[in-house]
Amino acid sequence: MSRTIFHIDVNSAFLSWTAVKRLSEEPGSLDLREVPSIIGGREGSTRGIVSAKSIPAKKYGIVTGEPVISAMKKCPNLVIAELDFQTYRNYSHAFMDILREYTPLVQQASIDEAYLDLTGTEELYRHLETEEWKFPLSVAYEIKNRIYRELGFTVNVGISENKLLAKMASDFEKPNRVHTLFVDEIPKKMWTLPIGELFGCGKRSAEKLMSVGIMTIGDAAHTDLSVLQSFLGEKGGAYIHRSANGISDSPVRVERDAAKSYSNETTFNPDITAQDFDARVPQIVKWLSESVGRRLRRDGVYISTIEVSVKTNEFKRRSRQKKLPDSTNSTKILQQEALSMLRELCMGEGGVFSEGLGIRLIGVGGSGIEDGTYRQMSLFDFVGESDKKESTGE
Ligand SMILES: [Mg+2]
* Average of per-residue pLDDT across 81-110: 89
pLDDT at 189: 98
79 or 372: which leads in pLDDT: 79
Same CATH topology for 15-84 and 261-378: the answer is no
What is the fold, at CATH topology level, of the domain defined by 15-84? MutS, DNA mismatch repair protein, domain I (3.40.1170)
pLDDT tens for residues 280-300? 999 999 989 998 998 888 777
Map residue 339 onto helix, strand or coil.
helix
Q: Report which of residues 161 and 41 the model is more confident about.
A: 161
CATH fold label, 194-244: DNA polymerase; domain 1 (1.10.150)
DSSP-derived secondary structure for 156-184: EEEEESSHHHHHHHHTSS-SS-EEE--GG
68-77, 88-97, 104-113, 362-371: segment of lowest average pLDDT: 362-371
Query: 70: CA distance to ligand 1 center in Å?
Result: 23
* 261-378: CATH topology: Dna Ligase; domain 1 (3.30.1490)
Question: Is residue 390 annotated as part of the catalytic site, yes or no?
Answer: no
How high is the pLDDT of residue 262? Answer: 83
pLDDT at 389 over 70: no
Q: Taking 50 as the threshold, does the pLDDT of residue 204 lie above it?
A: yes
Report the separation in Å between the CA atom of 12 and the middle of ligand 1, taken as the mean of its atom positions.
Answer: 5
Amino acid at 104: P
The answer, yes or no, to whether residue 70 has pLDDT greater than 90, is yes
* Residue 232 to residue 383: CA distance in whole angstroms: 13
Distance 186 CA to ligand 1 centre (A): 23
C-alpha 150 – ligand 1 centre gap (Å) = 18
How far away, in angstroms, is 340 Cα from ligand 1 center?
Answer: 36
Cα 361 to averaged position of ligand 1 atoms, centre (Å): 32
Considering the four listed CATH numbers 3.40.50.1260, 3.40.50.2000, 3.40.50.1370, 3.30.70.270, the one that applies to the domain covering 5-13+86-187 is 3.30.70.270
Q: How far is the CA of 346 from the centre of ligand 1 (A)?
A: 40
Residue 381 predicted with pLDDT over 60: no
Is the N-terminal amide bond of 27 cis, ω within 30° of 0?
A: no
Q: Where are the alpha helices (DSSP H) in the chain?
A: 13-25, 55-58, 68-74, 85-100, 137-151, 163-170, 186-189, 203-211, 217-221, 225-244, 277-299, 331-347
Which of 25, 113, 122, 173 is flagged as catalytic? 113
Spatial neighbors of 316 by CB under 8 A, at least 6 apart, are: 357
Locate the domains of the chain by residue range: 5-13+86-187, 15-84, 194-244, 261-378
Q: What is the pLDDT of residue 19?
A: 96
